[in-house]
Amino acid sequence: MPTLIRWTGQRAELAEDPFTAVGDEDPTPQGDVIVSLQRFQAEGQRLLAEGRKVGVRIEPHEDVEELEKDLPRLAVVALAFPKFLHGQAYSSARILRERYGFEGELRAVGEVLREQARFMVRCGIDAFQTADGSTPDQWTHVVTRFRHVYQRAGDGLAPAFAERADAGARHGV
Amino acid sequence: MYRYDAIDREMLADRVAEFREQCQRRLSGELTEDQFKRIRLMNGLYLQLHAYMLRIAIPYGALTSKQLRKLAFIAGTYDKGYGHFTTRTNLQLHWIKLKDAPDILEHLAEVGMHAIQTSGNDIRNITADPHAGANAEEVDDPRVWVEALRQWSTFHPEFSFLPRKFKIAVTASPKDRAATKVYDIGLRLHRNAAGELGFEVLVGGGLGRTPYLGPTIREHLPAKSLLSYLQAILRVYNRYGRRDNIWKARIKVLVASLGAEAFAREVEAEWEKTDQAKIDLPDTELARIRAAFAPRDFESLPATSNAFEAAKKDPAFARFARHNVQPHKIAGYAIVDVSLKKPGETPGDCTVAQMLAVADLAERYSMDEARVSYEQNLILPHVRLDDLPAVWRGLDAVELATPNRGLVTDIIACPGLDYCALANARAIPIAQAIARKFADPALAERVGELGIKISGCINACGHHHVGAIGILGVDKKGEEFYQITLGGSAEAEASLGQALGPALPADKVADAVDQMVEVYLRERKGDERFLDTFRRTGLAPFKEAVYADAH
């Protein structure tokens, strides 16, 4: 079974990937599948009714808002990064996590590189089909390298201003 | 001045460690230059014509003497003994060795400085009115808000891979010294009729290939909602800005194609859906930042100074006082402009000795503060009138007392083809040739206020679109030519320049400026500046003078 890197909240681990990425022209295989938004809109209800896990792949130009009603039944949303410079999916990830409270897997696919790991994790992405052969240890290293963050995002970390407020409260300031 | 706390310092330390490791991977050959490019380009390191260039951020253009001395040390130790201040109030070092870059960042971190996000498609160093805290007209200190934005934008996880670079400028004074109309986001702090502090939000201004003045998308944004509202703007841009064509990727193209009103509706809709309380700073944090910019302990001084008045008997000092000394909000103090535009020198260049001298003067006479302006000059913001003669002598000793702030020789120029891999033509020799024509300070003074701005290519780093005289270098079959525009301004009544006529060869540019100045001196009425005369007469007389030979 193919593998991917999964972020546990503390570290990156290698995990088996039970999902098959299904192209729009492919016949539907057995088991868990990830399909395009277009195919999901056409066949999603049937696929879900078959009792399998279903994921949807969102391209950079597609709006995650289209998935709002179906999110509770989706196991995975795969966010496409056709090139590492195409950063639309960082916004998609935050909307899914922070606005819709999506609790399933958020998977980065495409040109997914170690240098982007920290940004992706911070936006709430927790699974990675990497394009650069990174090991989980390397991934962990990049994600945990910084001790602080300056802003709230999709990972729930307390930003610097909240750390300062806590420290102030502890010292009775 | 804002001082880094333990958290800010640890952020920088972690960044230096990361960059050191990334450089090591390049130097060991693990990364190719192409792979390394992705990393270095977010960190202010460019591979240029001759060497690596490092661009150091100077947030809101503010420096302490300690920071300025550190910049001098770096320029002297790792570069050729000088640095170049840019129109974005950054400092560029053009002769850096890759192996030294991590050490330089470590030195910078010691004084709370860095090169984070001085390149790449991210939120760049944020600029502010260089007279902040010193001018009487401002409704609040813009640096408070820029420091809040600096932290918010640093390593922003959602906005580090935008369609294109993103620049923000903030002013809190009606006189716009931050060029907010030509920024991706311009923020104008003011009080509304009810006396509440808020931002006029301008989006989609910019220069480059397609210049725009930024339209206002919100007249009054409550000040405390700044971060959540900017998140909404950036999110709309990140999702819908173009990525298929680098020349159409700036937010100005998105705003222009949707129309400002439709763009504003998108932003407001996104903002409505945002959990604003999660994003905006709590009052305690704003108060913490604000305390760092509390008004300085100014002395109670008489409004006039006998020492200052007496020193004006020296005509050279009197001329400096007329042009490079501006009123301060506190009686008995002045704002001093330190010109980096001595005729014949490269605009914006500053030697180690000059940096050290300005650092000493700032420490002794300006409450330990110096500023960088987008006009590529330095500023001593808090000088007692009594001390002006001493400051002038100190500046003069290192050739920094050129009395030309805002005059014809106070030219803005990008590094141009001499340094920059993007440029089509040289900018510095053109600036030098023009400055030499007006090297006589009496002549420069007679011509009066005249902003000349020169860019070596269409990227417009020299802001040529907003020069009263703008000069743009172009390549014509391998030869350097220069297009001239007239009537641009980045001030409160901003305007974009109009093309004068066919491009001129390099050796005709300074003559053309001379001819246009002659026209202005002939045509001007009363106190008109060059810009005012041009706005009244239009292009015709200038065009006639410059292209007379061609007829």
Query: In this structure, is residue A171 part of a structural domain?
Result: no
The beta-carbon neighbor of A165 closest among B10, B11, B285 is B285
Q: What is the pLDDT of residues B366-395, one digit of tens each?
A: 999 999 999 999 999 999 999 999 999 999
- Total length of chain B: 551
Report CA-CA distances (Å) from B209 to A52, B369, B460: 52, 36, 7
Query: In this structure, is residue B343 part of a structural domain?
Result: yes
Rounded to whole angstroms, the Cα distance separating B234 from B157 reads: 12
* Contact in structure between B388 and B382 (CB atoms under 8 Å): no
* Contact in structure between B284 and A168 (CB atoms under 8 Å): yes
* Contact in structure between B485 and B468 (CB atoms under 8 Å): no
The beta-carbon neighbor of B158 closest among A91, A115, A165 is A91
Q: Measured on CA atoms in the order B203, A63, B158, B211, is the torsion positive or negative? A: negative
Rounded to whole angstroms, the Cα distance separating B516 from B457 reads: 23
Answer yes or no: is pLDDT of B551 > 70: no
Answer yes or no: is pLDDT of A173 > 50: no
Query: In this structure, is residue B121 part of a structural domain?
Result: no
Query: In this structure, is residue B352 part of a structural domain?
Result: yes
Write the single-letter amino acid at B389.
P
The neighbour count for residue A32, using CB atoms within 10 Å, is 16
B15 touches chain A (CB under 8 A): yes
DSSP A158: P
> Which whole number is the average pLDDT over B10-29?
93
Strands (DSSP E) contained in A51-167 are: 54-58, 76-81, 105-110, 127-128
B130 three-state secondary structure: coil
Query: In this structure, is residue B407 part of a structural domain?
Result: no
Q: What is the pLDDT of residues B451-469, one digit of tens each?
A: 999 999 998 989 999 999 9
CATH number at residue A51: 3.20.20.70
Angle B334-B66-B365 (CA atoms, 0-180°, nearest 5)? 25
Rounded to whole angstroms, the Cα distance separating B438 from B427 reads: 17
Q: What is the pLDDT of residue A52?
A: 96
B30 touches chain A (CB under 8 A): no
The neighbour count for residue B332, using CB atoms within 10 Å, is 17
Structure token digits, residue B213? 């003045």
Q: Say if the Cβ atoms of B238 and A122 lie within 8 Å.
A: no
Structure token digits, residue B259? 């129309």
Nearest to B155 by CA among A22, A53, A116: A116
* Contact in structure between B104 and B96 (CB atoms under 8 Å): yes
Q: Measured on CA atoms in the order B180, B270, A88, A25, is the torsion positive or negative? A: negative
Mean pLDDT of chain B: 95
Structure token digits, residue B210? 């397609």
The neighbour count for residue B507, using CB atoms within 10 Å, is 10
In this structure, are B380 and B434 located in the same domain? no
Write the single-letter amino acid at A134.
S
Q: A-chain residues within 8 Å CB-CB of B238?
A: 87-88, 90-91
In this structure, are B185 and B311 located in the same domain? no
> Which whole number is the average pLDDT over B408-418?
90
> Which whole number is the average pLDDT over B66-83?
97
The neighbour count for residue B296, using CB atoms within 10 Å, is 17
Query: In this structure, is residue B390 part of a structural domain?
Result: yes
In this structure, are B152 and B255 located in the same domain? yes
Strands B333-338, B325-327: pairing kind:
antiparallel
* Contact in structure between B101 and B45 (CB atoms under 8 Å): yes
Band (B492; pLDDT cuts 50, 70, 90): confident
| CA distance, residue A70 to nearest chain B CA (Å) | 19
Query: In this structure, is residue A164 part of a structural domain?
Result: no
Work out how many domains chain A is built from and give that number. 1
Mean pLDDT of chain A: 95
* Contact in structure between B167 and B186 (CB atoms under 8 Å): no
Q: What is the pLDDT of residue B231?
A: 98
Q: Exposed, middle or buried, B278 (CB in 10 Å: 0-12/13-18/19+)?
A: middle
Query: In this structure, is residue B441 part of a structural domain?
Result: yes
Q: Between these two residues, B240 and B548, which has the higher pLDDT value?
A: B240
From B53, B77, B110, give the residue that closes a domain: B110
- DSSP assignment string, B457-468: STT-TT-GGGSS
Q: What is the pLDDT of residue B33?
A: 85
Q: Between these two residues, A1 and A93, which has the higher pLDDT value?
A: A93
In this structure, are B213 and B262 located in the same domain? yes
> Which whole number is the average pLDDT over B352-378?
97
Nearest chain B residue to A120 by CA: give it.
Answer: B157
Structure token digits, residue A153? 């995002």
The beta-carbon neighbor of A91 closest among B11, B239, B278 is B239
- Helix crossing, B65-78 with B101-110: angle to 10°? 160
Rounded to whole angstroms, the Cα distance separating B94 from B420 reads: 9
The neighbour count for residue B196, using CB atoms within 10 Å, is 12
Query: In this structure, is residue A20 part of a structural domain?
Result: yes
A86 touches chain B (CB under 8 A): yes
Q: Say if the Cβ atoms of A145 and B5 lie within 8 Å.
A: no
Work out how many domains chain B is built from and give that number. 4
From B77, B110, B143, give the residue that closes a domain: B110
Q: Label residues B233-272 b or e (16+ Cβ within 10 Å = b).
A: bbbbbbbbbbbeeeebbbbbbbbbebebeebbebbeebbe
In this structure, are B83 and B153 located in the same domain? no
In this structure, are B513 and B468 located in the same domain? yes
Q: A-chain residues within 8 Å CB-CB of B273?
A: 99
- Helix crossing, B101-110 with B6-27: angle to 10°? 170
Q: What is the pLDDT of residues B116-147, one digit of tens each?
A: 999 999 999 999 999 999 999 999 999 999 99
Query: In this structure, is residue B279 part of a structural domain?
Result: yes
> Which whole number is the average pLDDT over A14-36?
96
Q: Measured on CA atoms in the order B130, B135, B137, B143, is the torsion positive or negative? A: positive
A100 touches chain B (CB under 8 A): no
Q: What is the pLDDT of residues B148-168, one digit of tens each?
A: 999 999 999 999 999 999 999
> Which whole number is the average pLDDT over B412-438?
91
Angle A32-A69-A7 (CA atoms, 0-180°, nearest 5)? 50
Answer yes or no: is pLDDT of B496 > 60: yes
CATH number at residue B240: 3.30.413.10
B99 touches chain A (CB under 8 A): no
Write the single-letter amino acid at A85.
L
Q: Which domain holds residue A126?
A: 3-147
Query: In this structure, is residue B520 part of a structural domain?
Result: yes
Q: Say if the Cβ atoms of B39 and A149 lie within 8 Å.
A: no
Nearest to B229 by CA among B275, B271, B258: B271
Q: A-chain residues within 8 Å CB-CB of B11?
A: 146-148, 150, 160
In this structure, are B356 and B388 located in the same domain? yes
Band (A112; pLDDT cuts 50, 70, 90): very high
Query: In this structure, is residue A44 part of a structural domain?
Result: yes
Query: In this structure, is residue A75 part of a structural domain?
Result: yes
Q: Which domain holds residue B139?
A: 134-292
Q: What is the pLDDT of residue B550?
A: 62
Q: What is the pLDDT of residues B177-200, one digit of tens each?
A: 999 999 999 999 999 999 999 999
CATH number at residue B34: 3.90.480.20
Q: Which residues contact B257 (CB under 8 A, 6 or more apart)?
A: none
Rounded to whole angstroms, the Cα distance separating B11 from B156 reads: 13
Nearest to B38 by CA among B102, B106, B122, B149: B122
Q: What is the helix (H) or strand (E) element at residue A36, kind and residue range?
A: strand A33-36
Rounded to whole angstroms, the Cα distance separating B54 from B71 reads: 12
In this structure, are B354 and B257 located in the same domain? no
In this structure, are B318 and B215 located in the same domain? no
In this structure, are B259 and B377 located in the same domain? no
Q: What is the pLDDT of residues A118-139, one digit of tens each?
A: 999 999 999 999 999 999 999 9
Q: A-chain residues within 8 Å CB-CB of B162?
A: 87
Q: Exposed, middle or buried, B421 (CB in 10 Å: 0-12/13-18/19+)?
A: exposed
In this structure, are B40 and B146 located in the same domain? no
Nearest to B52 by CA among B43, B60, B61: B43
B475 three-state secondary structure: strand
In this structure, are B86 and B212 located in the same domain? no
Whether the predicted interface score ipTM is above 0.85: yes
Cα B527 off chain centre by: 28
Rounded to whole angstroms, the Cα distance separating B57 from B143 reads: 15
DSSP 3-state helix, strand, coil percentages of chain A (rounded to 5)? 35, 20, 45
DSSP 3-state helix, strand, coil percentages of chain B (rounded to 5)? 40, 20, 40
From B264, B292, B320, give the residue that closes a domain: B292
